[in-house]
Amino acid sequence: MDNQRLLIWATFALLAWMTYTAWMQDYGPKPVVAAPQATEQPATGAPLDADIATDLPEFGAAEESALTPPGAEPATPAIEAAGSSAPVVTVQTDVFKVEISTEGGTVQSAVLLKYPVAKDQPDTLVTLLSTDREQLGLIRTGILTDGDSVPDHNATFTAARTNYELGGQDELVVPLRWTDDQGVSVEKRFTFRRGSYAIDVQQSLNNASDSAVRAYGYAQMLRRSKEQKRSMFDVDSYSFDGVLVFNGEKSEKLKRDDLLDDGQFKYSSNDGWFGFIQHHFLSAVVPQSDDTYDYNVQITKQQDIEVARVVAPTKSIAAGQSATFEATLFVGPKLQSQLEEIHEKLKLTVDYGWLTIISNPLFWLLSFVFGYVGNWGVAIILVTVLIKLAFYKLTEASGRSMAKMRNLQPRMKALQDRYKDDRQALSQAMMELYKREKVNPAAGCLPILIQMPFFLAFYWVLLESVEMRQAPFALWITDLSSKDPFFILPLIMGAAMFFQQKLNPAPTDPVQAKVMQIMPVMFTGFFAFFPSGLVLYWVTNTLLSIAQQWKINKVVEAEAKAPKGSKKKAK
């Protein structure tokens, strides 16, 4: 029994150490770096090469394949630095500030107004899209036609105004227009809504010429690609940074090295999408689910840029007729409620790993409780109580066995003294004692086996759910996703674990007893660097376990003192 207990704690210690290592890799202190760009002055980097041709095929190749031939290098259009001659339309809603270039209607900047880079830098906001070479992120849309002039992402559009604000409205529409001298015109409408990070893009082509026009719409996203250097000082170095695609059935992360080796990744789907993940944030393109679209993802080796695009089926537009190509862009935090509104599977961009089956319902329950209490810390406490109640009967049986083991300590010690030179006889005597007293020495494993999946699921929910990012609890805990700044919660947890040990049977082996005494100190050190929300969960769980075991110990002691044959059960 003692060996089993030690093995359990050793396993728990190993898991805790692995979690601690991952935490330090994700959220450990990082060196001071230059402040990221702020809202009013997006950074500008060196312009990209200006002599690279468009990466979309000529129109005539669209029917055969909208994708670059295997092995071909995907070329990237010229990207000019911020401040280029093309006029920019600025759009500000209650959640972000967006810049749209009149050159192609490219969304070239997006600053999230409610998400500072760090809690102590409230004026330095997260920027997801930018023309800066180091932080490149662009979303382009366009239409290719079989005409002489095409309204693609290089065409010049006109805008009635250069500044739009949502103000008191619930919806804001920003129109851009393009026309040629043959009577073909395009209106590109960007629709913004209050509280939403989604941007609906509708491209309407009106054919007022004398002949039919064949055309297809597309959406294209460009983003800087760089090799991820693993460092415990970099907050994002161990979080996936790259492209995630959904082919209508399953999602897949596309690793940089695989894209460089394979040349391209392509698929077709009538219910697909793609997105670029940046830890808690996402830039995604979700086309309208009405036809089969062709998708392609590649990396330009010359400029180290990831290019992802989706191409709609070709439409023939008769003279006097019109056609519309639609898609939804998402540029913002991975708020699961908003992601599900756009596409049921878009929340797959929130990566809970192999514990998704537990993390998803756990997050749902946390969100449900949060809706009533308005505090994520309180929600964690209440959900911990609910989990404890759900497994109460299961852990009660284990607790009773532990209590009985505690009462048997003197008799077990006597057996060890009697058979100290005969381990086989000692083992047989101990097993007979357990059988006679109806005690299961392995029952103590159960609570830990139950708690560990929830412990790890809580860890991933706290790290991957942007809803928990910089969320305050109370008093000195101002960010549940970061460590306790004064290490108060870890100290409380260590003291609680020490007291919990006193309620359980102590190992009869003196070496194991000393190891068990060190455990609370060791775990206090581990938990000192865990997210405070995770420590809050473990403190709450430990305190509830102490209360439960204390009650069970009292009941078992009363039953032991009751006269033999008495049917009255102690309460």
CATH code: domain of residue 93: 2.70.98.90
SS (H, E, C) 196-243: CCEEEEEEEEEECCCCCEEEEEEEEEEEECCCCCCCCCCCCCCCCEEE
Residues 290 and 370 both lie in one domain: no
Residues 452 and 430 both lie in one domain: yes
| Residue 114 included in any domain | yes
Residues 43 and 177 both lie in one domain: yes
Residues 180 and 272 both lie in one domain: yes
- Rounded CA separation 230/517 (Å): 35
6: exposed, middle or buried (Cβ count in 10 Å: 0-12, 13-18, 19+): middle
| Residue 288 included in any domain | yes
| Residue 355 included in any domain | no
The residue type of 420 is: K
- Rounded CA separation 515/527 (Å): 18
- Rounded CA separation 86/65 (Å): 32
Backbone angles phi, psi at 561, to 5 degrees: -85, -15
What pLDDT, on the 0 to 100 scale, is given for residue 504? Answer: 64
Residues 392 and 318 both lie in one domain: no
What pLDDT, on the 0 to 100 scale, is given for residue 420? Answer: 67
- Rounded CA separation 186/143 (Å): 9
Total domains in the chain come to 2
| Residue 8 included in any domain | no
Choosing from 350, 384, 412, the residue where a domain stops is 350
Residues 281 and 406 both lie in one domain: no
Residues 335 and 396 both lie in one domain: no
The residue type of 228 is: Q
Residues 513 and 451 both lie in one domain: yes
| Residue 255 included in any domain | yes
Backbone angles phi, psi at 371, to 5 degrees: -60, -25
Backbone angles phi, psi at 177, to 5 degrees: -130, 150
- Rounded CA separation 571/244 (Å): 57
- Computed on alpha carbons and rounded to an integer, the radius of gyration of the chain in Å comes to 31
Choosing from 350, 373, 403, the residue where a domain stops is 350
CB distance 92 to 109 below 8 Å: no
SS (H, E, C) 273-321: EEEEEECCEEEEEEECCCCCEEEEEEEECCCCEEEEEEECCCEEECCCC
What pLDDT, on the 0 to 100 scale, is given for residue 36? Answer: 35
What pLDDT, on the 0 to 100 scale, is given for residue 553? Answer: 66
What pLDDT, on the 0 to 100 scale, is given for residue 76? Answer: 39
| Residue 144 included in any domain | yes
Tell me the H-state helices in 391-509: 392-407, 409-418, 423-437, 445-464, 488-503
What pLDDT, on the 0 to 100 scale, is given for residue 35? Answer: 36
The residue type of 407 is: N
Token pair, residue 212, equals: 């039919």
Beta bridge partners of 129: 110
What pLDDT, on the 0 to 100 scale, is given for residue 429? Answer: 73
Q: Closest Cα partner for 496 from 454, 539, 453?
A: 539
Residues 291 and 371 both lie in one domain: no
- Rounded CA separation 346/333 (Å): 12
| Residue 30 included in any domain | no
The CA dihedral of 182, 184, 185, 188, to the nearest 10 degrees, is -140
Alpha carbon 511 to its chain centroid, in Å, reads 43
- State the pTM of this model: 0.75
Residues 110 and 190 both lie in one domain: yes
Residues 371 and 518 both lie in one domain: yes
Tens digit of pLDDT at every position of the chain (571 positions): 444 444 444 555 555 554 444 444 444 444 333 333 333 333 333 333 333 233 454 544 433 333 333 333 334 333 333 334 689 999 999 999 999 999 999 999 999 999 998 887 888 899 999 988 778 899 999 999 887 778 889 899 999 999 999 988 999 999 999 998 888 999 999 999 999 999 999 999 999 988 888 999 999 999 887 766 654 434 445 567 788 899 888 888 888 777 777 778 889 998 999 999 888 899 999 998 778 899 999 887 666 788 999 999 888 999 889 999 999 999 999 999 899 999 989 988 888 877 888 888 889 999 999 999 999 999 999 998 988 888 777 766 666 666 666 666 666 667 666 766 667 776 777 777 667 766 666 555 666 677 678 778 877 887 788 888 888 888 888 888 788 888 888 899 888 888 777 766 555 556 666 666 777 788 788 788 788 888 898 889 888 888 877 777 666 666 556 665 554 544 4
Choosing from 350, 369, 394, the residue where a domain stops is 350
Cβ atoms < 10 Å from Cβ of 45? 16
What pLDDT, on the 0 to 100 scale, is given for residue 32? Answer: 37
Beta bridge partners of 202: 189, 326
What pLDDT, on the 0 to 100 scale, is given for residue 279? Answer: 83
DSSP string, 152-204: STTSBPB-S-SEEE-TT-SEEEEEEEEE-TTSEEEEEEEEEETT--EEEEEEE
What pLDDT, on the 0 to 100 scale, is given for residue 352? Answer: 82
| Residue 427 included in any domain | yes
Residues 285 and 143 both lie in one domain: yes
Backbone angles phi, psi at 110, to 5 degrees: -150, 115
Cβ atoms < 10 Å from Cβ of 316? 12
Range of the domain at 471: 361-558
